[in-house]
Amino acid sequence: MLQPPATAPDYAAFLDERLPLQAPPIASYPLGDEQVWIKRAGPGIGPWRYRGLALLAGLLRLPALRPVPNPGGAQAVATEVRRLRDFEARGLRAPEVLAARGEGFLMRHLGRPGQDMPSLGNEIHRAVPQGAAPVLALWRLGLDAIARVHAQGTCLSQAFARNLVRDAAGVVAYVDFEDDPAAALPLATCQVRDALCYAHSTAIYLAECGALEDARALWTAWLLQPGRAEGFGAELATTVRRLDWLRHLPQDRRWGRDAQRLRAAYDLMVPQPPAG
């Protein structure tokens, strides 16, 4: 005898019940045979926090460095819900929104219940002792994932490797959409911003495992892929030229890890003269 289909959980009621009790900004729960997450609204970032970066972007004439405001609260929740649903509509893998209300939303776990979804950033970092080949393989997955987003005529929020996650099958998905750069900047600038974020968050690991030269060739080929917003290539080239002062930073840790990250990112993105 056929069993009747299981009744779907009341996602909205679950969110209404748990959200007021949740202290951390994001938490996981079992719900029937599923694993779900509730993300609650966080505080906004005051405009004064952006002034220094906005001033630097203006002085260097680098639109991609202009800060994108994160208002926090219900507005940030609405932005993230809208962007997650937009990614789903474009066929880009991101958490499915199950219910939303003013101060938070409920989303389905990307993998099977209990299955870890490591960030690509952590995976690349852990692969450094294994040498260049595994690091490059993982790093290329991130490039391909960002290219898919650009080919769909959109951009990420913050394209750091920590915001790209992988399931057990190795499929890359996208998380963390609290701001919408395309609401504040032209699309080409947003896509340049994606490239800068990914380079900044990964180049240091490429340098540490001796993969920077091979990665530079992959990076150059990636930049030539079709499907990006008009003006992307020219704006990125201009941005890299105006960041030329980064070549004066030391490659070691004398000036700290942040300076080392910037120098590695510059070394990845700058065109190299022909050998000989």
pTM assigned to the model: 0.89
Residue 180, judged by CB atoms within 10 A of its CB (0-12, 13-18, 19+), counts as buried
- pLDDT tens sequence across 220-235: 999 999 899 999 999 9
Q: What is the CA radius of gyration of the chain?
A: 20
Burial 151-171 (b: 16+ CB within 10 A, else e): eeebbbbbbbbbbbbbbeeee
DSSP label at 71? -
Model confidence band, residue 49 (pLDDT cutoffs 50, 70, 90):
very low
Q: Give the residue with greater pLDDT, 252 vs 186.
A: 186
How far apart are the C-alpha atoms of 271 and 267, rounded to whole Å?
Answer: 8
Residue 18, judged by CB atoms within 10 A of its CB (0-12, 13-18, 19+), counts as middle
Nearest by Cα to 19 from 37, 34, 36, 38: 38
- The tokens of 42 are what? 């966080």
How far apart are the C-alpha atoms of 97 and 101, rounded to whole Å?
Answer: 11
- Stretch 124-148: mean pLDDT: 97
Three-state secondary-structure class, residue 117: coil
How far apart are the C-alpha atoms of 172 and 174, rounded to whole Å?
Answer: 7
Three-state secondary-structure class, residue 218: helix
- The tokens of 211 are what? 């993969």
- pLDDT tens sequence across 82-111: 999 999 999 999 999 999 999 999 999 998
Model confidence band, residue 255 (pLDDT cutoffs 50, 70, 90):
low
Q: Give the residue with greater pLDDT, 50 vs 69.
A: 69
Model confidence band, residue 207 (pLDDT cutoffs 50, 70, 90):
very high
* In this structure, CATH architecture of domain 22-108: 2-Layer Sandwich (3.30)
